[in-house]
Amino acid sequence: MKLSGVRYLVGQGIENISKNSMMAFASFCVLLVSLLLVGISVLAYENISSMVGGVEAKNEIIVYMNDGTSEETLGKVEESIKQTPNVISVRFYSKEEEYLALKERMAEYDALFDALGDDNPLVDSFRVKIADITQMNKTISQIQQIDNIMKINAPYEFVSFLTQLRTILTWVMGALIGAMVIVSMVIISNTTRTSVYARREEIQIMKYVGATDTFIRVPFFIEGMITGFFAGCGALVITWLVYDAVVRIVENQVTLLNIIGIGSIIKFDDIYLPAALAYVFGGALIGALGSAFSTRKYINV
């Protein structure tokens, strides 16, 4: 096709928007809402997943050593734990350090500590953070093989709860996002077909005078792509403003952030580029394909 032909078809697509401004606006609104529903659902899932991960990151197990273990042995045990798969970090706490911390936390029981005198009932310990809590049992079994370990404390019930929560969230949010996509596609398809139906006579006349299917479809393709592009831009701006407002509200909840961790909240600046590409290109592609496919029925005359 010559360049002049391409220019004509693109011009026709742009002209169709102005001629059928009401239907174009309806398609724009439907695309905008559909993109918002899907986009917000995805962002909600990503943040919930990140929050669960933030809680997981705070999870740790405590390894208690046998009383009287030498410093040399403690050093070897620490190295062995660090080399264990799935271990992120290891921090040593001497029994003297723990005893002083305990006295500070229980200052009202000074008489009890005075009665103990120099006797320290605590033992040296290591606090171990792990990467994948679903592998906690396996990691603990490997650590237990190291000599001079008295016992290991781990939040088994908490880990089980988090694992089940992540699984449930994955299924629920996956189903929700999938439903949103399907509903959006159905609404967009119906709206686009309504727009094309209003111009069915125009399409049939073009077909009768010898216009090819491509020649007929391209202006609708361009029209849908432009409408979808602006719908994507609008959805991006709305999501940005609403998302930032919600993040500011959450950031003011100090207690909540102490639980989930401030780093668990995904900042929009960190996802702006992929979000922009998804909204803009997704809107343009859906609008273009929806318009082009909806002309099929009226081309076959």
Tell me: do 45 and 173 sit in the same domain.
Answer: yes
Tell me: do 193 and 248 sit in the same domain.
Answer: yes
Alpha-carbon gap, residue 184 to 191, rounded angstroms: 11
Bridge partner list, 129? 60, 89
Beta-carbon contacts of 294 under 8 Å, excluding residues fewer than 6 positions away, are: 189, 192, 193, 195, 196, 220
Tell me: do 48 and 66 sit in the same domain.
Answer: no
What per-residue confidence (pLDDT) applies to 233? 93
79-128 confidence digits (pLDDT tens): 999 999 988 888 888 878 777 777 777 766 666 666 666 677 788 889 88
Query: Which CATH number covers residue 104?
Result: 3.30.70.3040
Range of the domain at 281: 3-55+161-299
Tell me: do 9 and 130 sit in the same domain.
Answer: no
Tell me: do 173 and 42 sit in the same domain.
Answer: yes
DSSP-assigned letters across all residues of 18-40 = HHTHHHHHHHHHHHHHHHHHHHH
As a whole number of Å, the CA-based R_g of the chain is 31
Point out the domain boundary residue: 154, 181, 212: 154
Alpha-carbon gap, residue 32 to 235, rounded angstroms: 6
- Contact present, 296 and 214 (Cβ < 8 Å): no
**Angle formed by the axes of helices 200-208 and 213-251, nearest 10°:** 150
pTM of structure? 0.62
For the chain, helix, strand, coil in percent to 5 are 75, 10, 15
Question: Side by side, which strands form the sheet with 60-65?
Answer: 87-93, 125-130, 60-65, 149-153
Q: What is the tally of structural domains in the chain?
A: 2
Tell me: do 44 and 173 sit in the same domain.
Answer: yes
Residue 238 buriedness (CB in 10 A; 0-12 / 13-18 / 19+) = middle
Point out the domain boundary residue: 125, 154, 183: 154
DSSP-assigned letters across all residues of 85-122 = TTEEEEEEE-HHHHHHHHHHHTGGGHHHHHHHTT----
**Segments of the chain scoring below 70 in pLDDT:** 1-6, 8-10, 12-17, 20, 51-58, 107-118, 156, 158-159, 162-163, 181, 184-196, 198-199, 251, 253-264, 292, 294-301
40-83 confidence digits (pLDDT tens): 888 877 877 776 666 666 678 889 888 888 888 888 888 999 99
Q: Which amino acid is at 139?
A: T
Tell me: do 180 and 270 sit in the same domain.
Answer: yes
